[in-house]
Amino acid sequence: MNWLKGLISLLLVSLLVGCSGGGASGVFIGCGDGVSELLTEQEKNFVYGLFKSEYLWYDEVAEDVDLTSYTEPQALVEALRVTPPDKWSFSMTVKEYNDYSNQASSGFGFGYLIAGFQIYFVRVDSPVYDKLKRGDKILKLNDKNVTKELIKAASKNDGVESIFHVDRAGVELDIAVTPSVYSYKVAQAKIIDHGSKKIGYLRYDAFTSSSTTEIESAFTKFHSASIDELVIDLRYNHGGSVLTASVLLDNITNAYLGERQIYLDWNENYQKFNSTYYFDTQTDGNELDMSRVFFLTTSSSASASELVISALKPYLGETNIITIGEATAGKPVGMSPRVFGLNYYFLINFFVKNDAGVVSSFDGIEATCSADDDLTHQRGDTEESMLSVAISYIDNNKCP
């Protein structure tokens, strides 16, 4: 999603889209390491100054934080942020920022559940893509009983092959994977023929600035197929660029040319930074004109994912935005990064409001229909629980 539009505006939940963790019960393997130096007094004062000025809750920041006791960027941010509600403000290195922006990483490229070492996520075009699968349970790694430490260490050995001994639906397999530096995709599109209808299914994993071409390609495919229904899978999409979210909205509907999608509302002292995003004033030819949209969501669906859902409601109507799965993360706020030396600082700066002036809830956007994240099927499989429920709703206009 380009991250620069006057100010760089990002909506992220966790460091580098889950590099530090795939949620409460998951770990993501496959992110590049940055290099951060110990904080200088000048950098500490810079960060404190951001909290006391641009930060959305600037007037609630503690006055008595001993800056001298913090040497690492993230620890300092966590000490200064106002919690609750802020559990998101964070720091990342310049390298991590650049890698994320360009969809580059290193390692294996998969996420697994801590309980049982079961894989829930495989990054498209990563070293494990088409090798390890969603649902695989890792039993051993290089002939040793698997641990988090073993997986992490192996992921850092670029060019050195590792053997994963996995249980795949009751069959044990040995699978060789070599971690490496790689580029990845965040979008996959397919057409599902269902009776007389064509359903467009879009897996979308992150609102990166470089993924707009992937979005355009997906919607060109949907437009050419004249799809009847649209399902967007955001179940692990933590967010990303506001501008890319705007591009996605443009592609979902071309019925509201020039109308306001969302606006960003800063604190009372920084209203000059408020910004507004609009539907394009003209069409490119591949946009759809959907009257309703289905979203597959979990508690990992956050920020820009919630933005898109919220932004469509004033136009398509609440009943035509159908969410399947579970409530989203509840992050109706965003941040505009600031850089000092080797570090970027992402502090919550603004509320995200749709055209009706509504801020989505800190409790998340509730699911229209409940459904489990079904690890026994691949994403996009019509038998997978969330997608199956969406198709049932398409057939019957109600939750199964």
Question: pLDDT by residue (tens digit) across 275-334?
Answer: 999 999 999 999 999 999 999 999 999 999 999 999 999 999 999 999 999 999 999 999
CATH number for the domain that contains residue 360: 3.90.226.10
Tokens at 41, concatenated: 């007094």
Question: pLDDT by residue (tens digit) across 336-371?
Answer: 999 999 999 999 999 999 999 999 999 999 999 999
Q: State the DSSP string of 318-387.
A: GGGEEEEES------EEE--EEETTEEEE-EEEEEEETT-PPPPTT-PPPSEE----TTS-TT-TTSHHH
- Residue 23's pLDDT is 46
Question: pLDDT by residue (tens digit) across 255-276?
Answer: 999 999 999 999 999 999 999 9
Q: What angle (nearest 5°) sits at the alpha carbon of residue 197, between those of residues 196 and 198?
A: 135
Structural domain contains residue 313: yes
Say if CB 136 and CB 118 are below 8 A apart. Answer: yes
Residue finishing a domain among 127, 149, 183: 183
Say if CB 217 and CB 283 are below 8 A apart. Answer: no
Residue 129's domain spans which residues? 104-183
**Are 306 and 239 contained in the same domain?**
yes
d(CA 153, CA 176): 16
**Are 247 and 113 contained in the same domain?**
no
**Are 252 and 272 contained in the same domain?**
yes
What rounded mean pLDDT belongs to the chain? 91
Say if CB 203 and CB 187 are below 8 A apart. Answer: yes
Structural domain contains residue 168: yes
Domain count, the chain: 2
- Angle between the N-to-C axes of helices 242-252 and 212-225, in degrees from 0 to 180, rounded to the nearest 10: 10
**Are 207 and 165 contained in the same domain?**
no
pLDDT level of residue 36 (50, 70, 90 thresholds): low
Question: pLDDT by residue (tens digit) across 185-234?
Answer: 999 999 999 999 999 999 999 999 999 999 999 999 999 999 999 999 99
Say if CB 356 and CB 328 are below 8 A apart. Answer: no
* Strand-strand pairing, 197-204 and 229-233: parallel
Q: Above 90 in pLDDT, residue 35?
A: no
Say if CB 366 and CB 323 are below 8 A apart. Answer: yes
Confidence (pTM):
0.92
**Are 134 and 271 contained in the same domain?**
no
**Are 251 and 201 contained in the same domain?**
yes
CATH number for the domain that contains residue 136: 2.30.42.10
Residue finishing a domain among 142, 159, 183: 183
Residue finishing a domain among 183, 211, 246: 183
With pLDDT > 70 as the criterion, what percentage of the chain qualifies? Answer: 91
